[in-house]
Amino acid sequence: MTKWTFTWLIAGLLIVALSACQPKSEEDSSERKTADERITLTIRNPKVEISTQFEEMVMAYEREHPNIDIQVHTVGGAADDLADLKAQIAADNGPDIFTNTGYDNVKIWSDYLEDLSDQPWIPHAYKDTLKPVTMDGKVYGMPLNIEGYGFIYNKDLFHKAGIHTLPRTLSELQATAQTLEESGITPFATGYYEEWKLGDHLLNIAFAQQDDPEAFIDQLNKGTTKITNNQKFLDIISLLDTTIKYGNHNPLTTDYNTEVDLFASGKAAMIQQGNWIQPMIDQQSPNMNIGFLPIPINEEPADAIAVNVSNYWVVNKQSSAEKKKAAKNFLNWMVFSEQGKSFMTEQFKFIPAFDHIEAHHLGPLAKEIMNYYQTGKTLRANWFAFPNSAREEFGLAMQLYVGKQLNRDQLLQEFQKSWEKAAASSSH
């Protein structure tokens, strides 16, 4: 190596070394800072039926957004009573994203609900789906999905028992149950361990069958009518009696998961549930031959099922500005990205609440609900309009009735007392 070559080599090495010691440009520092900043979001998922699929969706989002870490807390099924959420909020440790059922709960939780009125999904929401979470002209929640419920029945077990005409009245339902039982088939999977199935879904049918449910609720609030002398509530108790008589043993210790397992495994022919159990059924019995029966409570033929928005995603108003922005981005990704939409429809089996999301593989339950919805054969989900605390007390009273600790008249009296107490509390 010549002297000059060696000299230039040393000079070049010095230049490289010195440049490595120089501070990064402002742009480079900014890029590194952005890459290093990780935002942790916490989400309270109330859908235990899709806990695994929801976690998979979150991981897919994290892969696309490496600076976002999402921690999911799934509740529901046996214990979605909001106790955990209330405790976290009280300890100033509430989740960044959680859910709200709308109506009175928007007012009750208003201090923790971020205004979402400017979000791009607003104009895509189906008509009236935002009404429950709209207060003073502002929207505070994004619809999870559209859901419906009734009696889900196993078509193959019906055929096995020789049942080819579906029951539309209570007496026809009782005759169907008798036929199933005589064929060695348990007619109903009854899981009454959780009070929401009784106090929300089942009792709602008595409200929905009123000539004008909204006016009836208003009259209850004003004290101008009573539950105790309303025939529809006597009817709903007769239906409850039917499910107990023709259901599995020990309904009060049969929880949500066990109940669904009884049905999905073919050990029971009917279950009072909604399309949200489709993923659970698919995991255990793919391609199960199932459909919906409207819930009959008397001799008036039932031809409609209850359909509503199940819940709304909300953003915690108390979270930091960075977390709120990240939370909104995640919600938008769910309803606008191809991957997010795919998870919602193909994995969660959700019926979309937005007109821009197409869904073709939701399963037979969702397909039937959409048929009822499109033909206008739907009942209102009224429990959102119940005064706060009445829903839970309704369910608890019905559990006491199932356990033979209350008779019919006492149960009706408990309904009325719970409503009066809750309505008086709400008015203050």
Distance CA 150, CA 152 (A): 6
39-145+310-370 with 147-307+380-426: one CATH topology?
yes
The CATH homologous superfamily for domain 39-145+310-370 is Periplasmic binding protein-like II (3.40.190.10)
| Global confidence as pTM | 0.83
Percent of the chain with pLDDT over 90: 78
What residues does each domain of the chain span? 39-145+310-370, 147-307+380-426
Q: What is the pLDDT of residue 169?
A: 98
Q: Measure Cα distances from 409 to 122, 183, 206, 228, 252 in Å.
A: 46, 35, 16, 8, 21
Task: State the DSSP string of 321-378.
Answer: HHHHHHHHHHHHHHHHSHHHHHIIIIIS--B-SBTT---S-S-HHHHHHHHHHHTT-E
The pLDDT tens digits for 22-40 are: 444 433 443 344 445 899 9
The pLDDT tens digits for 132-190 are: 999 999 999 999 999 999 999 999 999 999 999 999 999 999 999 999 999 999 999 99
Q: What is the pLDDT of residue 116?
A: 98
Q: Of 75-79, 90-94, 180-184, which gets the smallest average pLDDT?
A: 75-79
Q: What is the pLDDT of residue 81?
A: 64
Q: What is the pLDDT of residue 17?
A: 41
Give the 3-state secondary structure percentages of the chain, helix then strand then coil, rounded to 5.
50, 15, 35
**b/e per residue 284-321 (b: at least 16 CB within 10 A):** eeeebebbbbbbbbbeeebebbbbbbbbbbbbbeebee
Topology (CATH level 3) of domain 147-307+380-426 = D-Maltodextrin-Binding Protein; domain 2 (3.40.190)
Q: Of 69-78, 79-88, 206-215, 377-386, which gets the smallest average pLDDT?
A: 79-88
Q: What is the pLDDT of residue 77?
A: 59
- Please identify which residue in the block is written with the tokens 């050990």: 267
Q: What is the pLDDT of residue 218?
A: 95
Residue 295, beta-bridge partner list: none
The pLDDT tens digits for 219-229 are: 999 999 999 99
Average pLDDT, the chain: 90
